[in-house]
């Protein structure tokens, strides 16, 4: 698999999906609040939030890879690792599969 550096367009695409997820959850909350208050509202809102978060993280895990800053190894991670690992906009704290060091790996995009 080949990888490329993250472009501004890639960052905007991720931001757009994040905004869509937030808007979906806000619209769901506003729609459900008068109809299902309190327990139905809480349950449905949690289901919508967890579902949309699952889809967003799964999509992100499928389109990204990472580069170890210490040895330069480029690698992919699982959905679960993507979900639980601490991150900043262009970095994620991961353990390199080659050198075994934990560091802030640079995010790469899978080449199309």
Percentage of the chain lying above the pLDDT 70 cut: 99
pTM above threshold 0.75: yes
What are the b/e assignments for 78-92, b being 16+ CB within 10 Å? eeeebeeeeeeeeeb
Predicted local distance difference test score (pLDDT) of residue 112: 67
Q: Cα–Cα distances in Å, from 21 out to 4, 7, 57?
A: 26, 22, 11
pLDDT digits (tens, 9 = 90+) for 38-77: 888 889 889 999 999 999 999 999 999 999 999 999 999 9
pLDDT confidence of residue 33:
84
Residue 77, helix vs strand vs coil = coil
Name which of 74, 77, 72 is nearest 60 in CA terms.
Answer: 77
Ranges of each domain in the chain: 3-110
Both structure tokens of 74:
């480029």
Output the pLDDT for position 81: 96
Q: Would you give the DSSP letter of residue 85?
A: S
Q: How far is CA 90 from CA 1, 6, 23, 28, 43, in A?
A: 20, 8, 23, 30, 33
Q: What is the pLDDT of residue 16?
A: 96
What is the rounded distance in angstroms from the CA atom of residue 64 to the CA atom of residue 110? 6
Per-chain mean pLDDT for the chain: 93
């Amino acid at each position: 698999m080949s990888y490329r550096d993250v472009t501004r367009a890639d960052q905007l695409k991720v931001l757009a999906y994040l905004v869509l997820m937030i808007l979906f959850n806000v619209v769901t909350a506003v729609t459900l609040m008068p109809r299902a208050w309190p327990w139905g509202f809480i349950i449905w809102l949690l289901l919508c939030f967890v579902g949309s978060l699952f889809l967003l993280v799964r999509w992100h895990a499928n389109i990204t890879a990472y580069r170890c800053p210490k040895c330069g190894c480029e690698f992919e991670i699982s959905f679960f690792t993507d979900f639980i690992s601490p991150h900043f906009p262009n970095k994620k704290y991961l353990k390199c599969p080659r050198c075994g060091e934990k560091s802030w790996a640079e995010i790469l995009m899978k080449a199309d």
